[in-house]
Structure 1
Amino acid sequence: MSQATLLLIEDDDSLREVMAFNLEDAGYRVDAVSRGRLGLAKYDAAVHDVVITDIRMPDIDGLAVLETLRGRDPRSVVVIMTAFGGADRALEAMRRGAFHYVEKPVNMATLLTILEKAVELRHATTRLERQASQAPQRHELIASSQRMSQLMRTVDKVAQTDATVLIRGESGTGKELVARAIHERSERAAKPFVALSCAAIPGDLLESTLFGHERGAFTGAVKSSQGKFVAANGGTLFLDEVGEMPLELQAKLLRALQEGEIEPVGGDPVEVDVRILAATHRDLDAEVQAGRFREDLFWRLNVVPIQLPPLRERPEDIPVLVRFFLRKHGRGAAISVSREVDEALLSYDWPGNVRELENVVQRMIALREGDQLGLPDLPEPHRPSVNSAPHSTSSGLPFELPEEGLDLRDLERRVIVATLEKHHGNQSAAARYLKIPRHVLMYRLEKYGIQTQ
């Protein structure tokens, strides 16, 4: 556990003591105070990595704490605690720049997962602002969803080995970022990381690009070239879009994997010590069946498979990524997003995945009128349709309130069940439809005893 320091602001003495004990037991240093103003006085940007604050307190509330901290230190990372039923205020806090929120009673496992990502964000932002170190920057995987947390645990495990990894996922999901994260956490971190897109090099040049060539080996070879394998010797070679590699070249790659030896064009065999990480957006199983990809090479590459989910299947990561990109590209400005922008981003399908989301955030920052981003700041294709709003009654609700009253908890349960049925039990799709993080939906499922397939 990284020795991060937390500032805990909670007015309930017993809860504050229990939380401080559990957080210290998890490896954090904790400064705990009982009032919002005491927290503001205690906060030190050079000391505290993350602030955890209750939203309701006797003197000033958590929103005031958040706004004061963000004004004083735009890099501050704040996690909000809210009582059951306070999700609206917590979401408002996220729109104003909070990193995340947890509901009371606090589930420590959930909080620790959020804190791990919050500390990563704080450290990543600090490194981005320094921009002075010549050492390679550690690539962080910014996410809060359960699927990405599991993926990151796999990354940490596989980094400690020399196993070949095949990273699969749609374009823009961050396959090269995962490859770099594996390299930087491995024993090869001090050695080169060399990336090559097999789709970007014409087939007749790919062999010499990979394995090198001797002078005069072919027309135009006016001087020798060492190739990517030799350039990566001792380190890691990342082969992006490996599914685009011509069949005849796949045999040479297979030999390099099996024998640890390459043969430059027109030259003699050369021994190399290189770890291979490969990535593709194609279904390589289908490519093997169609005869377009060698089965023996597939099994050599697919020792440890990592599947990167598209952004539409992990919408709970969108608010976290948006705030990371705001800090990354905002040049220190305390930029926040409106509720309408959050909802629009959550409802969009993101065919370009994380790459498209970062592009949208950069564009909004560059063209913004103020430091709170609203719907007019969204590019046209990402704005909600005028006709997408549900029909509402005179009360402003999509249904009439019954005269005899209603059971709010029963209504919430029925809405969740109906949403799950509408999306065939897909919890990520249901959470996206309800515009809540997936972990909040999971909490509701457990609370109401709702079983899913």
Structure 2
Amino acid sequence: MKKILLTFAGNTDCKNIETGEGPILDILKELYFDKLYILYDQVRYVRCASKIKQFCEKKYPGLVVCYQVAMVANPTDYNLVYPAMVGAVKNILREEQGEEVSWTISVTSGTPVMHACWVLLVQGGVLDARLIQSSREEGVKVISFSLDDFPTITTPRQNKVLLTLAERENKVLRGRLGKGWEELIGEDPSVLEAKKKLTLYSEYDLPVFIHGESGTGKEVAANLLHINSPRRNGPFIAVNCGTISETLFESEFFGHKKGSFTGSSTDRDGFFVQADKGTIFLDEIGDLAPSNQVKFLRVLDQMTIRPLGGKERKVDVRIVTASHRDLEEMKNTGSFREDLYYRLVQLEVGLPPLRDRGADIILLARHFLDAYGSRYKRSKAFSPAGEKKLLEHKYPGNVRELQKIVRLAYINSTGDTIGPEDILLPATAGRELKVEIPEKGIDLMNEVIPAYMRAALAKTGDNAAAAARLLGMKPHTFRARLRKLIEKVK
């Protein structure tokens, strides 16, 4: 008989993965299961679930770990949580149809409403399962109190209730979240168009390119593509290509075998193997060095990789890429391979800058403020003057910058209302840099940029990484330009 554990992923699980602790992992230390289903109600828990899966693959190689969505607009609303959980459990039952299963449910992770709904779900006959709980003090315990006095939910009435609640949930989601993609908040037409494309493309196993400025939510969009795709039970691996040096490229992406180079004391799976049967998200693909762009072609054409010092092996991944740079312009100028461009840019989604999204600024600000209110157990609200001030800012850092501004405003305000005096905007906000160009023009690449690079190096004591940060450049890009500059001098 197959033993299966159902549980939500909770905040405590997410915080303690690296140490091998948390309710889910504590249960697996004490009880044996053949399969684990991790339910999630918000996109942010997918990464947590993915890390738990990676941990289990190493610690419990015989355990199969799957994800199951139970998306709700409000995880504390019984009217929404219960039907979402019932739907999730029924999906799992269909998945395990024909198998003889011993079911166990952990009520430890998730919200108190979810804990109660597990009891309702079992007593209502949706699933015949034992309930367990976990704590540091007492370990794992079976919930054994009597439910004899609990009213039985009859099947006809249960179906009627579920239909009513499901329709209520759909109405809430349609009105507030736009087809359930609640992590991509916004009602601006450009955002709705992006959601429409993401919804459509999620079902097709083709490469997707997401373009937009830094901080617009490209990784959130990629995550949404993954969790709504047929690969939702596989891993989601996000990689920032701009942080990978040219020399470590093959080791990082394709992996290596022990002894394949100096310092390789153990085998290591590369990003593509880690993403096998799932999705790999390659952020800032435009920062990839030309010498490494060609190495992607074989993967894209044949889905084959060769670890350093190892043999070829097949991988099965969906590739999603993103960049704040204009890849088409890079293709036209020759800085990005044309053959790679056409393999990666098959389906395309654009995310607009926050400054062009109008009232979405207030929707997002209120969302962040509500999140901090829940976290710190004190609700606050913006005054009309405070919201007016938020709308006047240009947000060069987009959503990421707005989140930081709201967080500081929450901390700065002493009362329950956040006014304009509590909102600290960058000193350069709204100030345009005035540039004068002489009649004879300038040599930007050979004079201006090198001059700024030399000044940055002088200011930082020849620290290339620090100099790169001063100029807002990626360290590897700075070093590459510096090498070219030195070669020209020679």
Query: Common fold, TM-score beyond 0.5?
Result: yes
Q: Which residue of 2 aligns with 1:330?
A: 373
SS at match of 1:343: helix
Query: Does structure 1 residue 167 correspond to structure 2 residue 186?
Result: no
Give how far 1:115 is off.
5.4
Out of 369, 383, 396, the residue aligned to residue 414 of structure 2 is 369
Q: What amino acid does structure 1 have at the position aligned with 2:422?
A: D
| Contact kept? 1:284, 1:298, Cα under 8 Å | yes
Give how far 1:147 is off.
1.0
| Contact kept? 1:117, 1:144, Cα under 8 Å | no
1:119-178, Cα deviation, whole Å (9 max, x unpaired): 439x99xxxxxxxxxxxxx87211111111111011111001101001111000000000
5 Å-filtered alignment, 1:264-413, equals 264-331=307-374, 332-381=377-426
Structure 2 stretches of 5 or more lacking a match? 1-75, 82-169, 431-490
SS at match of 2:426: helix
Seen in structure 2, the aligned counterparts of structure 1 residues 269 and 384 have a Cα distance that, compared at 3 Å, is: closer
Structure 1 stretches of 5 or more lacking a match? 1-43, 50-112, 125-137, 386-453
1:210-255, Cα deviation, whole Å (9 max, x unpaired): 1111222222222221101000000000001111111122112111
User: Taking every aligned residue pair, what percent have the same amino acid on both sides?
Assistant: 38
1:40-89, Cα deviation, whole Å (9 max, x unpaired): xxxx954389xxxxxxxxxxxxxxxxxxxxxxxxxxxxxxxxxxxxxxxx
Seen in structure 2, the aligned counterparts of structure 1 residues 231 and 48 have a Cα distance that, compared at 3 Å, is: closer
Q: Which residue of 1 aligns with 2:177?
A: 120
In 2, the alpha carbon distance for the partners of 1:219 and 1:245 equals 24
| Contact kept? 2:405, 2:425, Cα under 8 Å | no
Q: Which residue of 2 aligns with 1:220?
A: 263
Q: What amino acid does structure 1 have at the position aligned with 2:203?
A: Q
In 2, the alpha carbon distance for the partners of 1:339 and 1:349 equals 18
In 2, the alpha carbon distance for the partners of 1:118 and 1:239 equals 32
| Contact kept? 1:311, 1:354, Cα under 8 Å | yes
Q: What amino acid does structure 2 have at the position aligned with 1:254?
A: L
Seen in structure 2, the aligned counterparts of structure 1 residues 236 and 48 have a Cα distance that, compared at 3 Å, is: closer
Seen in structure 2, the aligned counterparts of structure 1 residues 214 and 170 have a Cα distance that, compared at 3 Å, is: same
Give how far 1:349 is off.
0.6
Q: Report the more deviating stretch, 175-184 or 325-334.
A: 325-334
Give how far 1:367 is off.
2.1
SS at match of 1:305: strand
1:304-336, Cα deviation, whole Å (9 max, x unpaired): 011111001112211110111111122253311
SS at match of 2:209: strand
Q: Which residue of 2 aligns with 1:72?
A: none
In 1, the alpha carbon distance for the partners of 2:384 and 2:429 equals 13
TM value normalised by structure 1: 0.55
Q: What amino acid does structure 2 have at the position aligned with 1:323?
A: R
Q: Which residue of 1 aligns with 2:293?
A: 250
**How many pairs were matched up?**
266
In 2, the alpha carbon distance for the partners of 1:289 and 1:46 equals 55
| Contact kept? 1:197, 1:239, Cα under 8 Å | yes
In 2, the alpha carbon distance for the partners of 1:260 and 1:120 equals 36
In 2, the alpha carbon distance for the partners of 1:284 and 1:300 equals 12
Out of 238, 245, 269, the residue aligned to residue 195 of structure 1 is 238
Q: Which residue of 2 aligns with 1:149?
A: 192
Out of 214, 232, 236, the residue aligned to residue 275 of structure 2 is 232
TM value normalised by structure 2: 0.51
1:407-437, Cα deviation, whole Å (9 max, x unpaired): xxxxxxxxxxxxxxxxxxxxxxxxxxxxxxx
Query: Does structure 1 residue 47 correspond to structure 2 residue 92?
Result: no
5 Å-filtered alignment, 1:3-22, equals none
5 Å-filtered alignment, 1:69-80, equals none
| Contact kept? 2:284, 2:321, Cα under 8 Å | yes
Give how far 1:380 is off.
4.4
RMSD: 2.7
Give how far 1:207 is off.
1.8
Seen in structure 2, the aligned counterparts of structure 1 residues 248 and 274 have a Cα distance that, compared at 3 Å, is: same
